[in-house]
């Protein structure tokens, strides 16, 4: 348990940051799920549109430190190739 005022403050800051990062991760996953659902439906136009909306969210996660840069690049690459394959 945190004892010093500094450690108590750090614990509080960590909780707040955890909550914000959790929301960011959830938002990213929602956008990625929408792309997955569009791919599963077989509609390339909808999948491409969903992918276009998901990309900035994923990159925002990278800039905020929620997702690693290479992880985001890999996900985008794999989704883009799957969307392209629908054509």
- Give the global pTM: 0.87
Q: For residue range 14-54, what is the model confidence (pLDDT) as tens digits? A: 999 999 999 999 999 999 999 999 999 999 999 999 999 99
> What pLDDT shows up at residue 87?
83
pLDDT tops 80 at residue 1: no
Main-chain phi, psi angles of 9, to 5 degrees: -65, -45
Give the residue-averaged pLDDT of 57-66. 96
| CATH number for the domain running over 5-85 | 1.20.58.110
Q: How many whole angstroms separate alpha carbon 86 and alpha carbon 7?
A: 53
């Amino acid at each position: 348990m945190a004892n010093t005022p500094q450690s108590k403050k750090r614990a509080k800051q960590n909780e707040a940051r955890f909550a914000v990062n959790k929301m960011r991760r959830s938002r990213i996953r929602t956008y990625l799920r929408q792309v997955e659902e569009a791919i599963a439906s077989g509609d390339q136009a909808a999948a491409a549109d969903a992918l276009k909306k998901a990309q900035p969210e994923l990159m925002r996660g990278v800039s905020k430190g929620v997702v690693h840069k290479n992880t985001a690049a890999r996900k985008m690459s794999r989704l883009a190739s799957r969307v392209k394959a629908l054509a």
